[in-house]
């Protein structure tokens, strides 16, 4: 079958400021030699956002317990690189996409700073606020916090998010120490390095210790499920923090697993009630449910715009913001809806003005598979270097169903099913579990709907759920005339697959199969192996 073709879209406007984006790394230091010149207006905008980030960091570090935490926990060193992360995420962006990216990611930075503050406040080694700690419930990095939607005062602390997940966005070598610790203890090198690193953090005693209890979920994979047992053992035996294992069914689209899932949510809520002493509050729950639906509507609108010729909110920040809002927040915070609304306003404006992010858009691409944390910003590189537009990614294709948001007796029962549904459809696991239909078949549906001619397939080499259908992707993509660009990586261990090796795989496809030349040749080889 012939390959599908999409229209070439040329940008009538010339990009202001720096044209060559591959010149910022010298290969010597960890950071760029200077920041990007984006024209006067956008540079000044970026500068004000930099000031804002600096103010968030300054407000964080002036607190003594946070300084104490900085000197106790190895992962905290990565937070020296927060502004650097923003520079990676805004590479080449101007106008609305620049503002959307900052609006979304600056809020994520604020949210993570709050999470770390809360962690250190309750942490027995730093803040040791016992009263506060008694209100904290630890949850996993990849956990949907739906079961906390009806608790007004208790706090869900996603302890692994700042410790492992975000740290690896900041600096590429953030997890290697912990992976080594885990492997020294005997976990093989072929498992997913993310739960392995989390296990390593636990073994290395580098997690903050707080909370009255912990709720763990079988999240994305067998490795993640199994790593939880190891972490729970230390929590329970050494720190006396009881744990509850919340089970989300694997075949989550099947009707005959929903009762089970809802029942387990009830048990999780009961467990939290018992340990926090707080009763579930339906008003709080339904207010959160409204916000969940609100976030779903906004996300759908952004995706609708991304289905047109002029997408606005794309790239890793699209994914990371959705991660934070959909999963970590799950309607609990009233601070997210105004941010969503502001992004939507910018998305609409950008669409109306036909704002583009590169000289031309050659390919419309769906990014599938599990993204490498240490090279997640590569999506902007694809736009700038090759004119390949990442329309959406697997992790952002989550729940689209509206959940019950009015407080009625029927809806109170329905609510358990809704929470279970959200829990089952947490990011990544809603695709990696549930059979080939959700992972393979629906990918082709998204390609059709978003008019994509290309799938950039992140092949996370130790993600068994993805690897297990490698051949099916190959064959079915070929049958449908979709370009499947395989890009291998090892999630959060850049020693196995460097950033340049990842880019090379993409570039090779562009040159050898598509016979194209880069839009910005300076980006083809970037000397960032030692960079943060």
Partner 1 sequence: MKDLKHLIYFERLLEEAHNPLISQAQEEGKKCVAFVCENTPEPLMNLDNTFGVRLTAPNTGSMDIATYYMTSFLCEFSRALLERAIEGGYNFADCLIAPDGCTMMNRAAENIELLQAMGPGKDTFFYQNMEIPLKADDNGVNLMILQCKNHILKPLHETFGTDISDAAIRKAVAEHNRVCELIQAIGEYRKEEYPRITGYEFHVLTLATYVAPKYLLIDKLEETLEELKTREPDTKKYRARVMVVGSEVDDSAYIKLIEECGAYVCCDRFCFGSFPGRVPIEMNDDEDALTQVCRHYVYNTHCPRQMNMQKVYGRKAYVNELACEYKADGIIYEQVKFCDPWAYERLMGTTMLRENYGFPVLSVDRPYNISSSVGQMRTRVQAFVESIEIKKLQGGVK
Partner 2 sequence: MKKAVKIPLTVLGIGAAAFAVTFTVYFFNLDMKLTSMIEPILLNHYDKIPRNQRI
Sites of contact with partner 2 (CB under 8 A): 29-35, 37, 43, 47, 50-51, 54, 70-74, 76-77, 80-81, 83-84, 87, 181, 185, 203-206, 230, 233-234, 532
Contact of residue 6 among partner 2, partner 1, none (CB under 5-8 Å per partner type)? none
- Answer yes or no whether residue 425 interacts with partner 1 by CB under 8 A: no
Report the 3 state secondary structure along 194-230: HHHHHHHHHHCCCCCCCCCEEEEECCCCHHHHHHHHH
Residue 59, Cβ neighbours under 10 Å: how many? Answer: 13
Write out the two tokens for 460. Answer: 């996370």
Closer to partner 2 by Cβ: residue 200 or 328:
200
**Edge-to-edge strands of the sheet including 388-393?**
388-393, 363-369, 454-460, 483-489
Residue 89 main-chain phi, psi, to 5 deg: -80, -15
- Answer yes or no whether residue 239 interacts with partner 1 by CB under 8 A: no
> Which residues within the stretch 435-454 sit at the binding site for partner 1 (CB under 8 A)?
435-436
CA angle at 359 for the pair 530 and 347, rounded to the nearest 5°: 90
Q: Where are the beta strands (DSSP E) in 235-291?
A: 243-246
Closer to partner 1 by Cβ: residue 465 or 531:
465
Shortest reach from residue 449's CB to partner 1, in Å: 22
Residue 335 CA to residue 317 CA, distance in Å, equals 18
Q: Which of 161, 216, 204 is nearest to 179 (CA)?
A: 204
Provide the CB-side half-sphere exposure for 38 (13 A, CA): 21
Cα 528 to chain centroid distance, Å, stands at 22
Contact of residue 256 among partner 1, partner 2, none (CB under 5-8 Å per partner type)? partner 1
Shortest reach from residue 329's CB to partner 1, in Å: 25
Q: Which of 239, 214, 238 is nearest to 228 (CA)?
A: 214
Cα 127 to chain centroid distance, Å, stands at 28
Contacting range for partner 1; rule: CB under 8 A; set: 88-96, 247-255, 275-283, 313-321? 247-255
- Answer yes or no whether residue 479 interacts with partner 1 by CB under 8 A: no
Closer to partner 1 by Cβ: residue 205 or 263:
263
- Answer yes or no whether residue 56 interacts with partner 1 by CB under 8 A: no
- Answer yes or no whether residue 191 interacts with partner 1 by CB under 8 A: yes
Binding mask 194-223 for partner 1 (x = CB under 8 A): -----x----------------x-x--xxx
- Answer yes or no whether residue 232 interacts with partner 1 by CB under 8 A: yes
Contact of residue 469 among partner 1, partner 2, none (CB under 5-8 Å per partner type)? partner 1
In sequence order, which ranges of 36-152 are alpha helices (DSSP H)? Answer: 40-61, 64-72, 82-89, 95-122, 130-133
Number of residues that bind partner 1 (CB under 8 A): 51
Write out the two tokens for 303. Answer: 């995706």
Q: Which of 14, 131, 256, 410 binds partner 1 (CB under 8 A)?
A: 256
- Answer yes or no whether residue 502 interacts with partner 1 by CB under 8 A: no
Evaluate whether 142 touches 224 at the Cβ level (below 8 Å).
yes
Contact of residue 191 among partner 2, partner 1, none (CB under 5-8 Å per partner type)? partner 1
Shortest reach from residue 31's CB to partner 2, in Å: 4
- Answer yes or no whether residue 250 interacts with partner 1 by CB under 8 A: yes
- Answer yes or no whether residue 472 interacts with partner 1 by CB under 8 A: yes
- Answer yes or no whether residue 188 interacts with partner 1 by CB under 8 A: yes
Q: Which of 71, 471, 512, 515 binds partner 1 (CB under 8 A)?
A: 471
Evaluate whether 36 touches 10 at the Cβ level (below 8 Å).
no
Closer to partner 2 by Cβ: residue 189 or 518:
189
- Answer yes or no whether residue 268 interacts with partner 1 by CB under 8 A: no
- Answer yes or no whether residue 12 interacts with partner 1 by CB under 8 A: no
Write out the two tokens for 138. Answer: 């630890």
Contact of residue 250 among partner 2, partner 1, none (CB under 5-8 Å per partner type)? partner 1
Looking at the DSSP bridge assignments, the partners of residue 458 are 369, 487
Q: Which of 245, 333, 498, 500 binds partner 1 (CB under 8 A)?
A: 245
Which H or E run contains 501?
Answer: helix 499-508
Residue 184 main-chain phi, psi, to 5 deg: -60, -30
The DSSP symbol for 519 reads S
Greatest Cα-to-Cα distance within the chain, rounded to the nearest angstrom: 65
- DSSP for 360-399? EE-EEEEEEEPPPGGGTTHHHHIIIII-EEEEEEGGG---
List of residues contacting partner 1 (CB under 8 A): 185-188, 190-192, 199, 216, 218, 221-223, 225-230, 232-233, 236, 243, 245, 247, 249-251, 254, 256-257, 259-260, 263-264, 267, 432-433, 435-436, 459, 461-462, 464-465, 467-472
């Amino acid at each position: 079958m012939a390959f599908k073709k999409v229209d070439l879209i040329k940008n009538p406007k010339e990009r202001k400021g720096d044209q060559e984006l591959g010149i910022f790394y010298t290969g010597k230091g960890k950071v760029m030699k200077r920041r990007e010149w984006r024209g006067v207006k956008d540079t000044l905008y970026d500068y004000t956002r930099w000031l804002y980030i600096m103010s968030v960091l300054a407000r964080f570090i002036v607190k003594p317990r946070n300084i104490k935490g900085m000197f106790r926990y190895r992962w905290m060193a990565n937070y020296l690189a927060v502004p650097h992360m923003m520079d990676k995420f805004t590479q080449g962006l101007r106008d609305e996409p620049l503002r959307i990216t900052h609006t979304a990611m600056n809020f994520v930075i604020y949210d993570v700073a709050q999470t770390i503050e809360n962690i250190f406040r309750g942490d027995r080694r730093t803040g040791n606020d016992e009263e506060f700690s008694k209100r904290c419930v630890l949850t996993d990095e990849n956990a949907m916090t739906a079961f906390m939607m009806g608790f007004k005062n208790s706090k869900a602390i996603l302890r692994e998010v700042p410790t492992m997940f975000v740290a690896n966005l900041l600096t590429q070598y953030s997890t290697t120490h912990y992976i080594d610790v885990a492997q020294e203890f005997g976990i093989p090198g072929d498992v997913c390095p993310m739960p392995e690193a989390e296990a390593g953090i636990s073994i290395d005693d580098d997690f903050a210790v707080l909370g009255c209890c912990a709720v763990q979920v079988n999240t994305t994979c067998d490795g993640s499920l199994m790593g939880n047992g190891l972490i729970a053992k230390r929590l329970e035996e050494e720190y006396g923090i009881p744990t509850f294992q919340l089970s989300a069914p694997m075949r989550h689209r099947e009707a005959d697993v929903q009762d089970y899932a809802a029942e387990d949510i009830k048990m999780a809520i009961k467990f939290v009630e018992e340990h926090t002493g707080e009763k579930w509050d339906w008003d709080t729950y339904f207010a959160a449910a409204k916000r969940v639906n609100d976030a779903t509507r906004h996300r759908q609108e952004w995706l609708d715009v991304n289905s047109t010729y002029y997408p606005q909110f794309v790239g890793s920040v699209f994914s990371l913001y959705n991660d934070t809002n959909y999963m970590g927040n799950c309607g609990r915070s009233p601070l997210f809806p105004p941010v969503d609304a502001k992004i939507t306003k910018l998305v609409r404006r950008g669409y109306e003005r036909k704002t583009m992010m590169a000289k031309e858009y050659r390919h419309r691409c769906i990014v599938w598979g599990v993204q490498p944390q240490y090279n997640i910003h590569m999506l902007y590189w694809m736009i700038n270097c090759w004119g390949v537009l990442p329309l959406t990614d697997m992790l952002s294709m989550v729940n689209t169903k509206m959940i019950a948001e009015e407080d009625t007796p029927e809806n109170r029962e329905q609510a358990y099913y809704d929470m279970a549904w959200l829990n089952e459809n947490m990011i990544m696991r809603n695709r990696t579990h549930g059979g080939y239909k959700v992972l393979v078949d629906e990918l082709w549906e998204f390609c059709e709907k978003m008019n994509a001619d290309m799938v950039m397939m992140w092949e996370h080499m130790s993600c068994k759920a993805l690897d297990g259908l490698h051949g099916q992707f190959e064959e079915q993509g070929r049958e449908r005339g979709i370009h499947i660009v395989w890009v291998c990586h090892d999630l959060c261990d850049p020693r196995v697959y460097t950033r340049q090796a990842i880019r090379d795989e993409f570039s090779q496809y562009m040159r050898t199969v598509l016979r194209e030349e880069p839009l910005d040749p300076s980006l083809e080889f970037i000397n960032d192996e030692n960079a943060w």
